[in-house]
């Protein structure tokens, strides 16, 4: 693992939509580096021919049957109650600030 530089941390923060201060970036950079240095050990394991596991039970052959349901209309959550949780909503829609600056 090469050292992470500030530019990379800045880019990660942007990808993750996180506004970070200079101090935060500096401290996260050190902590991420320390973890990645620790995690480097897995590179030494031989995984040639080993399939990746995303869901443990699928790989163990225990689950995996289709859970798709019939496409029929049914009752869902109350729209007003859901929109009441939004920071801003009107006319039955979520409202966001202007998209173009």
Partner 1 sequence: MTLWQETVTSLSQKLRAGELSAAETTRAFTERIESIDPSLGAFLEPMTAVATERAQALDALDETKRGPLHGVPIAVKDIISVAGSRCTCGSRILEHYVPVYDATVIERLHAAGAVVLGKTNMDEFAMGSSTENSAFQTTKNPWNIDRVPGGSSGGSAAAVAARLAPAALGTDTGGSIRQPAALCGVVGLKPTYGRVSRYGLVAFASSLDQVGPMCQTVEDAALLLETLAGDDPKDATCATRPVPSYSRELDADVAKLRLGIPKTATGEGIDDSVRASFDHAVRLFESLGVETEAIELPSTEHAVACYYLLATAEASSNLARYEGVRYGLRNGATKALREMMAETRAGGFGPEVKRRILLGTFVLSAGYYDAYYQKAQRVRSLIAKDFENAFERVDAVLMPTTPTPAFPIGDKVDDPLSMYLMDIFTITANLIGAPALSFPAGFSKNGLPVGVQLVGRHFDEATILKLGHQFQQSSDFHCKAPDLAR
Closest by Cα among 29, 24, 25 to 3: 29
Binding track, positions 24-63, relative to partner 1; x by CB under 8 A: x---x--xx-xxx-xx-xxx-x-x--xxxxxxxx-xx-xx
* Rounded least distance, CB 64 to partner 1, Å: 11
| Tokens linked to 72 | 């029929």
**Nearby residues of 95 by Cβ (< 8 Å), 6 or more positions away:** 86, 88, 89
Give SS3 for 39: helix
Binding track, positions 7-26, relative to partner 1; x by CB under 8 A: --x--xxxxxxxxx---x--
Question: First vs last Cα of the chain: how many Å apart?
Answer: 38
* Rounded least distance, CB 10 to partner 1, Å: 11
93 DSSP 8-state letter:
E
* Residues engaged in binding partner 1 (CB under 8 A): 9, 12-20, 24, 28, 31-32, 34-36, 38-39, 41-43, 45, 47, 50-57, 59-60, 62-63, 65, 67, 69, 77-78, 81-82, 85-88, 94, 96-101
């Amino acid at each position: 693992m090469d050292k992470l530089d500030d530019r990379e941390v800045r880019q990660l923060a942007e990808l993750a939509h996180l506004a970070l201060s200079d101090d935060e970036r500096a401290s996260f950079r050190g902590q991420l580096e320390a973890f990645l240095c620790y995690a480097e050990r897995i590179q030494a394991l031989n995984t040639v021919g080993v399939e990746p596991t995303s869901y443990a039970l699928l790989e163990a052959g225990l689950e995996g049957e289709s859970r798709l349901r019939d496409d029929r209309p049914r009752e869902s959550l109350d729209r007003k109650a859901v929109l009441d949780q939004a920071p801003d909503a009107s006319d039955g829609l979520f409202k966001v600030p202007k998209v173009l600056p």
